[in-house]
Amino acid sequence: MKEIGVAVIGTRFMGRAHANAFRQARAFFDPPLLPRLVVACGREEVRLTEFARRFGFEHTATDWREAIAREDVSLVDICGPNHLHAEIAAAAAAAGKAVLCEKPLARDLAEAQGMLQAVAGAGVPHMVCFNYRFFPALRLARELIRDGALGEIRQYHALYLQDWGLDPGLPLTWRMRKELAGSGALGDTAVHVVDLARFLVGEIAEVCGMLTTFIKQRPLPNGAGLGEVTVDDTAAFLARFTSGATGVFETTRVAAGRKNFMHLEVNGTRGSVRWNAEDPNVLEFYSLDDPPRVRGFRRIVVTEREHPWAGNWWPPGHGLGYEHSFVHAACELLTAIGEGRPPVPSFRDGVAAQAVLEAVARSAAERRWLPVHP
């Protein structure tokens, strides 16, 4: 069995999701390269040690440079805050390591482009972790669209609502500071539905956006009073795809009762699909090819052998959860590297999504439509 040594940088939400993904890829799939969890990297030593023990890392490092420098590491997985992505990616690429990076790729378009240049220049494999592409139901949606089951696509609607920011007492973390995160809900959650728009429909030509910050100050983590929230907590925009299709996007962190409510609908000339992250194993599909009296949105439980990745897990109807999307993403990365082909989605996709975010942010500031410059 061929193995590849992995360094995971970051031990929180995403660090855990990625470490788990590599472990489970090994248990449930047969990628040509098996991931070895060589080194976990984080700044808080106690937390890091526990993280490494839980997921079975061989080593720990509190300095990411040290992790990257290891000879037994060939893949660097960047799960830290957004402001660290670029520097780590550049260093990893310079060291000849493959790079997996959490979304959004960077704080802004220029930074993202720099990262793409770094990895492309170094010739290393690169992937941005748009994990939603790897839900079986959304992959099935993509296949149906590709096969023409929806005809020509005309409309894309995406609502992505959360409420974790609703409590004004929640402290000011890096996700609420522009210098660290780049943007707020826009880069954190809208970026997913932007990527899915590209995945399912195609390139976005122009946008018109609105960014809002409902909660403008929050307690500083150190207890020293209030600090300014410098990013949006709500973002919405209209879009026109290059194909002529229309897009409507909205995302927020402050919609009471919505936990991870990502609601997507795509309408074409021959049919439609709908998906909701709160019921992730189901794809709804409507087809004009059905006889008129029995037309209706089918609730497809995407857990059959015929469905992407499903056959590697459990019998039909025994659904998967959120984390499985990362396992499938890890498999794609390991397979692509193993087969010597570029992983998908790559940093190019990360840049393309970032270009949309950037146009939305500028459009919101200028209060008019703007083209997306990739």
> Which strand (E) or helix (H) includes residue 254?
none
CB nearer its own copies, residue 75 or residue 215: 215
Asked if 234 interacts with its own copies (CB under 8 A), we say: yes
Task: Establish whether the linkage from the previous residue to 343 is cis, with ω within 30° of 0.
Answer: no
CB nearer its own copies, residue 12 or residue 59: 12
Is residue 229 within 8 Å of 176, Cβ to Cβ? yes
Asked if 258 interacts with its own copies (CB under 8 A), we say: yes
CA distances to 12, 30, 189 from 338, in Å: 28, 11, 31
Nearest distance from C-beta of residue 306 to its own copies, angstroms: 4
CB nearer its own copies, residue 167 or residue 228: 167
Which residue shows structure tokens 């026109």?
240
Which residue shows structure tokens 């299709």?
245
Among 208, 264, 356, 360, binds its own copies (CB under 8 A): 208
Site for its own copies in 288-327 (CB under 8 A): 288, 290, 292-301, 303-304, 306-307, 313-324
Among 286, 331, 348, 349, binds its own copies (CB under 8 A): 286
Residue 265: burial class (beta carbons within 10 Å; 0-12, 13-18, 19+): middle
For the record, the structure tokens of 247 come out as: 């897009």
CB nearer its own copies, residue 10 or residue 125: 10
Among 195, 250, 349, 358, binds its own copies (CB under 8 A): 250
d(CA 88, CA 66): 11
Site for its own copies in 50-79 (CB under 8 A): 53-56
d(CA 107, CA 89): 13
Asked if 91 interacts with its own copies (CB under 8 A), we say: no
At residue 12, φ and ψ (nearest 5 deg) are -100, -145
Among 79, 255, 336, 359, binds its own copies (CB under 8 A): 255
CB nearer its own copies, residue 19 or residue 75: 19
